[in-house]
């Protein structure tokens, strides 16, 4: 299973192609659109999310709500494109407007200008933008439907916003509560404090980051492999999550805390109960030896604060070389719920890939049967 | 540039093949052996490191100390194989000895037994073992020689051992000091405290983990890409580091701390000095938009404690289903210096890959020229 | 450079994404549409080509006629989709009509039904159809524009139709003449005989195949590599061409004839002229040691006859198990010009990939400079 | 399943790593050595084949004759290396001897010198040499053991040598007869004529090529896929075979002859017999729609004549620019049996890859079960 993505932030459409889905997987488009809506939701978002209301258009690979086993191509039309066509068209267009040369710290602007031989960072930022993650959310939503057919569920929550933390530990079943709040936190008191902090930051023209936790529930053991470094499930999850715009840290299970504790307090002992091998802890976050071990997979990812600040940051104009302030524009103070949604989606896709590799199969009934026989 | 690895821990040899090196890169085998020795060094190691003294045997791809542009194959002979051949031979051998069925928590044992249809975890652990990292160290050492030819240096240090931290901030030039100590820490007082803690843990039959920091110095901007998620340099570094045995967390620049701070304290502002774009901070750890930004790349990885404890951990015998203690054996209390060496090596290889993709080239002189013209 | 394709024959659209194009490559959409028109042209085509008039819609990756260095996504809308939506929609649709169970010999029908767990071959043939090649023609056309910026040209011609052969040998410059005829043959007498044969076959309800020759002119030496089997340019060309629907044979230079001759009559001797190494023959077809050798690349591919015959072929109904005749429908007698266009396109893309790997580069100016310095 | 190869012709060893084998596949090393011996056998070979007697050394991935599911690394030691070490060592060695600057037509010499920035073609030809195919034969032999466990057999024969053809058509069972002769032809009269022609060519200092036919018997339908161009089994077979040194043509089933016939004489009609779908012809060579169709897979590959002629060919000295004759040395007149063995091996590996992708699986018992349930 493989996802290829394309699309500029203000271009005609974002496009994705998923290869390697078996035939006869049911695809519920409303679930995908619900995930796309989650990506646009949440406290702290700026104006653009109100302009666009992302919806998936399936272009191929699905017929009568069932996959065909062929590549599933889809588009998410940029509904604001009508206003941008004159600046962004593939044909002749006006490239003298909407230019950006006051390169924004924390973005791809400065590096991208040099790398791609450009004089206008518009030509870089359009693709570097986190708007690209809409495609990954749609693909992740499809991956969740594939996993759900095997009884595997993916959930998540926000565990901190700009330092305001939810210290609670919750079973998988309670993750749904997170989605009911404005910042996807389960501890509603913490969520309120975080919202208040966002208000303060907004007033100060500043921005916030957050940490999201993703959990995969019900996956059997043995996905990923200890045999080659490239197959390790933890490596693949980390690579995918760190490959999301603005992510600066990823950890699994205890994560960095594991490095601070003696082995006797870290490793998940194994017990025998009714003939089964059971664990009473899950410090490993469900992965040992690069493979799922049958416990819940627990991954956390840290997003840096939004790098476009209303108050501006010191920078330099790329063309004139003069000091200036980076453009403020209307923008987000935080993208907390978006980030949690993206992290879930990206993790779901990686897990689905590992499942598809191990099970092979061309038809969903065959995939389910192989999974059950493991 | 691509690395393929093979080899069991007590098999005949570990083997690696590096594809994609240009011709006419000078290969200094003594530098590779020095890195292999670093991997075996350090306070807290058990008996095996004294038995083996790893050395690379180049099997192809190099002639008269220069690469040929062909795949560089190498072996690291397991010097203890004479004692293991009767149990590990590819031909007929005694598989009734050296069995392991008391599956060790924190290892691949239990999952691997089921996944690969085995009844003896020996058949899993031999490959899952961190001994495989010797190949990655050798390959990383070659990657460092490739990078050095472009003026790019890779260094690192240990920043904490089981919670004992070196809180200092050091310039790249001081990293060499780390290698002089027994735990690769620059703050020698912290290093002594860490060594004392290792002694205590050893006495208690317990183990330790650590955090290593890797830095890449002198790399120009624009390696990796913002254009597709798979090309992002941060994602690739994280994937590779999390794919190292026992790693549970990876962060870049400020890492998780970035999620706790407002944007105004995180993003590295840009200033103009003598016509250059300069930064006064490097919270991004040298990567913005998935690309090197010309600042030092700073990555940290957290290793969990060694999962084989002399005091044993509760577990279950895979064959009998009875509760028991996991085997203790002689083993390491910590593998701190090994881990730091591995982390450097793995990061160096990823960076070299990104360099090779962007520059192309078949001959090292051509690669250097293209790099200089960037 | 990588092409991912999607799309069903009667679905909403065919979709392609090209990754790895440098920035600032000029894209002339009219040239792409011209190639798409060539794919639909030619003597012997059936009704469908008159219904559809393929045009590329660029969805991303190009702004103001220049590439951005981002993935170039495009769609070719199936203009007949309005009539097919009720049978082919991703949402609820009528799958009881347009079924095909009389599996057609020479098609994917029978194998695909079993493989993908289907009872209606419609669910297989929609993707297996050669209509997918429209995407490869569009991508090949873009590859030709990339190569043209380096002074490399791709051309071709038809050398035989159902056994009617053009025995001539022509310089690259004369290939343009082929495109002026109805079957893309240069020998117009042979072309007339071939057209007459197609008329006869049509009258008999039968079909024809053909052989096309593709040539790549002006490519410097050293593309592809002798160092790993996967990099060999001849292997990649053959793999891509044999991967086109209906192709049963591929040869390079003398091809199969080389196996029948002694070495003294096959190998292209090297002579010195004005300080240059020159050849007086090109039996190798421009590839030695898996690399372009600076001579013209010459590849031929053989397409089997169209497998849907108006007269029908014996087959069996998949559902009833009863003997029957495969459906005739309106269809092509031959797709000669289409095939030649596809073969050129596919070969152009492979060559462009090999060029991009060797040159690297993010910006077309840099790519051109690197090419010139070879 | 993936094969990575390394090794110079006169270097220390040829090395291969096969990733993706399941655990518990029985590996019979004597079968591998038998295939390596076939590669060195046959009429028309020169002196080197008598010097070396290739044998596989398994370095990892196999224990007690069963795979572990880990990468299977192996070496084929160059027994003549003792005599070459002083010229070919990875350390300091004498690069002033054994130089080759009279670049040989039909080889990688001239192109490789320029591409890799060399002045001595020794640095190119050592890797470009067909000796690399020994690794592919060993890997192919392992692939055959994997396929044999599923009841799939791979065989082949030589059908022509420098124009002397065996026009016979033979069932799979008779292919074993080919291996008994000196040129792997079944028609022993043709084989004698071919041997006599080789004698003549040898006397004239000339060389020969040949055509080999590979057949895969007993493979179920549905391997490969019609859904993406890269998955097509015919494309993959052609790519792999054309990627063998000296191959200039590949065809499947009727191959080029299919292009000369009307559709009614090409497509394999389908009949119902006892509830099964059966064919009475196999013009498709067992592949329709890019997938195995359950019939025997039939592939042919054409090898050009050996490009090193005792009588020499006109060429130019790379360093002096002067006209000269390419070096003759002791060499082969033909490598007919070698080529047939290589073609079988390469095809077997491709088929095994396609099987492994579709079946997935970590343990051979699971793989067999999944195959049987198809």
Q: Where are the beta strands (DSSP E) in chain D?
A: 2-6, 13-19, 23-26, 56-58, 62-63, 66-68, 72-77, 153-161, 164-165, 210-217, 247-252, 270-273, 276-279, 287-288, 291-292, 297-303, 314-316, 323-325
Residue contacts between A and C (CB atoms, under 8 Å) = 180
Residues from chain D that touch B60, judged by Cβ atoms under 8 A, are 6-8, 11-15
Task: Please check whether residue D149 is in contact with residue D352, taking contact to mean a CB–CB distance below 8 angstroms.
Answer: no
Return the pLDDT at B42. Answer: 86
Structure-token pair, residue C143: 């590859």
CB of A222 less than 8 A from some CB of D: yes
Binned at pLDDT 50, 70 and 90, residue A264 comes out as very high
Tell me if residue B235 falls in helix, strand or coil.
Answer: helix
- Asked if residue A162 has pLDDT above 90, the reply is yes
Chains touching B (3+ CB pairs < 8 Å): A, C, D
Return the pLDDT at B216. Answer: 98
Task: Please check whether residue B70 is in contact with residue B87, taking contact to mean a CB–CB distance below 8 angstroms.
Answer: no
CB of D114 less than 8 A from some CB of B: no
Structure-token pair, residue B104: 């060790």
Residues from chain D that touch A359, judged by Cβ atoms under 8 A, are 360
Instruction: Give the strands of the sheet with A66-68, arranged side by side.
Output: A23-26, A66-68, A62-63
Helix locations, B129-232, DSSP H: 133-148, 175-178, 188-203
Compute how many other C-beta atoms are within 10 angstroms of the C-beta atom of residue A92.
Answer: 9
Q: Does this complex have an ipTM over 0.90?
A: yes
Tell me if residue A73 falls in helix, strand or coil.
Answer: strand
State the Cα–Cα distance between residues A6 and C75, nearest whole angstrom: 12
DSSP 8-class letter at D46: -
Structure-token pair, residue A267: 């490793």
Which sign does the torsion angle of CA D93, D97, D102, D104 carry? negative
Q: What are phi and psi of C46, to 5 degrees?
A: -95, -160
State the Cα–Cα distance between residues D298 and D157, nearest whole angstrom: 11
Residues from chain D that touch C295, judged by Cβ atoms under 8 A, are none
The CATH fold assigned to C97-373 is: Chorismate synthase, AroC fold (3.60.150)
Q: How many Cα atoms within 13 Å fall on the side-chain side of residue C252?
A: 37
Burial of C95 (0-12, 13-18, 19+ CB in 10 A): middle
- Asked if residue D185 has pLDDT above 60, the reply is yes
Q: What is the pLDDT of residues A219-246, one digit of tens each?
A: 999 999 999 999 999 999 999 999 999 9
- From A64's Cα to the closest Cα of chain B, the distance in A is 31
Average pLDDT, chain A: 96
Termini Cα distance of chain B: 20
CA nearest to C223 within chain B: B362
CB of D150 less than 8 A from some CB of C: no
Binned at pLDDT 50, 70 and 90, residue B232 comes out as very high
Binned at pLDDT 50, 70 and 90, residue D47 comes out as low
Bridge-based pairing of strands B72-77 and B56-58 is: antiparallel
Residues from chain A that touch D19, judged by Cβ atoms under 8 A, are 227-228
DSSP 8-class letter at D102: B
- From D64's Cα to the closest Cα of chain C, the distance in A is 31
Return the pLDDT at C331. Answer: 74
Average pLDDT, chain D: 96
Asked whether the beta carbons of residue B59 and residue D15 sit closer than 8 angstroms, the reply is yes
CA nearest to C358 within chain B: B360
Identify the helix (H) or strand (E) that includes residue B250.
Answer: strand B247-252
Write out the DSSP string of B165-194: E------GGGHHHHTTSSS--SSHHHHHHH
State the Cα–Cα distance between residues B278 and B285, nearest whole angstrom: 14
C-facing residues of D in 235-274 (CB < 8 A) are 235-245, 247-256, 258-264, 266-272
Residue range D153-167: mean pLDDT, rounded: 98
Among D60, D95, D100, D134, the strongest candidate for a mutation testing the B interface, having the largest count of B CBs within 10 A, is D60
- Structural domain boundaries of chain D? 97-373
Q: What is the pLDDT of residues B353-366, one digit of tens each?
A: 999 999 999 999 99
Return the pLDDT at D330. Answer: 62
Binned at pLDDT 50, 70 and 90, residue D48 comes out as low
Q: Count, in order, helices (H) and strands (E) of chain C.
A: 11, 18
Asked whether the beta carbons of residue C70 and residue A19 sit closer than 8 angstroms, the reply is no
CB of B289 less than 8 A from some CB of C: no
Termini Cα distance of chain C: 20
Residue range B37-54: mean pLDDT, rounded: 78
Residue range D275-301: mean pLDDT, rounded: 97
Q: Where are the beta strands (DSSP E) in A238-290?
A: 247-252, 270-273, 276-279, 287-288
- Asked if residue D46 has pLDDT above 80, the reply is no
State the Cα–Cα distance between residues A301 and A342, nearest whole angstrom: 11
- From B86's Cα to the closest Cα of chain D, the distance in A is 10
Asked whether the beta carbons of residue B227 and residue C358 sit closer than 8 angstroms, the reply is no
Chains touching A (3+ CB pairs < 8 Å): B, C, D
Q: Could you tell me which of B32, B157, B225 has the C-alpha nearest to residue A108?
A: B225
CB of B225 less than 8 A from some CB of C: yes
Return the pLDDT at D331. Answer: 74
CB of A129 less than 8 A from some CB of C: no
State the Cα–Cα distance between residues B256 and B242, nearest whole angstrom: 16
Write out the DSSP string of D105-120: TTSSHHHHHHHTT-S-
Return the pLDDT at C16. Answer: 98
- Asked if residue D204 has pLDDT above 90, the reply is yes
Asked whether the beta carbons of residue C115 and residue A362 sit closer than 8 angstroms, the reply is yes
Of D71, D227, D362, the CB nearest to A358: D362
- From B373's Cα to the closest Cα of chain D, the distance in A is 19
Residues from chain A that touch D370, judged by Cβ atoms under 8 A, are 360, 370
CB of C357 less than 8 A from some CB of B: yes
State the Cα–Cα distance between residues D14 and D56, nearest whole angstrom: 10
- From C357's Cα to the closest Cα of chain B, the distance in A is 6
CB of A72 less than 8 A from some CB of C: yes
Q: What are phi and psi of A166, to 5 degrees?
A: -95, 110
| CB within 8 Å of C113: residues ≥ 6 apart | C103, C119, C120, C121, C124, C318
Task: Please check whether residue C63 is in contact with residue A93, taking contact to mean a CB–CB distance below 8 angstroms.
Answer: yes
Binned at pLDDT 50, 70 and 90, residue A345 comes out as very high
Instruction: Give the residue, D300 or D43, on which the prediction is more confident.
Output: D300
| CB within 8 Å of A294: residues ≥ 6 apart | A219, A220, A221, A286, B111
Q: Is A229 left (phi over 0), alpha (psi -120 to 50) or beta?
A: alpha
State the Cα–Cα distance between residues A46 and A353, nearest whole angstrom: 34
CB of C328 less than 8 A from some CB of D: no
Residue range D258-267: mean pLDDT, rounded: 98
Q: Could you tell me which of C142, C354, C161 has the C-alpha nearest to residue C240?
A: C354
Q: Which residues of chain C have pLDDT under 50?
A: none
Q: What is the pLDDT of residues A185-231, one digit of tens each?
A: 999 999 999 999 999 999 999 999 999 999 999 999 999 999 999 99
Helix locations, chain C, DSSP H: 29-40, 48-51, 81-88, 109-115, 122-128, 133-148, 175-178, 188-203, 233-242, 336-359, 364-373
| CB within 8 Å of B173: residues ≥ 6 apart | none
Asked whether the beta carbons of residue C116 and residue A90 sit closer than 8 angstroms, the reply is no
Structure-token pair, residue C184: 């893309």
State the Cα–Cα distance between residues A347 and A337, nearest whole angstrom: 16
Asked whether the beta carbons of residue D59 and residue B15 sit closer than 8 angstroms, the reply is yes
Asked whether the beta carbons of residue D228 and residue A361 sit closer than 8 angstroms, the reply is no
Q: What is the pLDDT of residues C237-267, one digit of tens each?
A: 999 999 999 999 999 999 999 999 999 999 9
């Amino acid at each position: 299973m493989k996802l290829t993505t394309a699309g500029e932030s203000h271009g005609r459409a974002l496009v994705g192609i998923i290869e390697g889905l078996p035939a006869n997987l049911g695809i519920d488009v409303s679930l995908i659109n619900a995930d796309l809506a989650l990506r646009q939701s949440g406290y702290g978002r700026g104006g653009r999310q109100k302009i666009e209301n992302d919806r998936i258009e399936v272009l191929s690979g699905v017929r009568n709500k069932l996959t065909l086993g062929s590549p599933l191509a889809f588009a998410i039309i940029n509904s604001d494109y009508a206003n941008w066509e004159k600046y962004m068209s593939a044909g002749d267009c006006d490239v003298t407007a909407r230019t950006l040369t006051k390169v924004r710290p924390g973005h791809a602007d400065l590096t991208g200008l040099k790398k791609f031989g450009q004089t206008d960072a518009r030509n870089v930022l359009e693709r570097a933008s986190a708007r690209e993650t809409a495609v990954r959310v749609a693909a992740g939503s499809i991956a969740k439907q594939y996993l759900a057919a095997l009884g595997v569920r993916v959930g998540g929550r926000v565990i901190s916003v700009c330092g305001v933390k939810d210290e609670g530990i919750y079973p998988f079943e309670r993750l749904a509560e997170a989605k009911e709040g404005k910042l996807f936190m389960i501890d509603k008191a913490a969520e309120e404090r975080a919202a208040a902090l966002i208000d303060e930051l907004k007033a100060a023209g500043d921005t916030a980051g957050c940490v999201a936790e993703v959990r995969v529930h019900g996956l059997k053991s043995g996905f990923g492999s200890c045999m080659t470094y490239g197959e390790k499930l933890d490596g693949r999850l980390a690579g995918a999550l760190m490959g999301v715009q603005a992510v600066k840290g990823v950890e699994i299970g205890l994560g960095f805390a594991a490095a601070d504790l003696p082995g006797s307090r870290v490793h998940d002992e194994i017990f025998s109960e009714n003939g089964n091998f059971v664990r009473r802890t899950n410090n490993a976050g469900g992965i040992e030896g690069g493979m799922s071990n049958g416990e819940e997979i627990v991954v956390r990812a840290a997003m840096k604060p939004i790098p476009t600040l209303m108050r501006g940051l010191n920078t330099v104009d790329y063309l004139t070389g003069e000091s200036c302030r980076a453009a403020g524009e209307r923008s987000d103070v935080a993208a907390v719920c978006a980030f949690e949604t993206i992290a879930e989606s990206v993790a779901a896709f990686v897990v689905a890939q590992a499942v598809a590799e191990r099970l092979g199969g061309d038809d969903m009934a065959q995939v389910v049967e192989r999974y059950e026989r493991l």
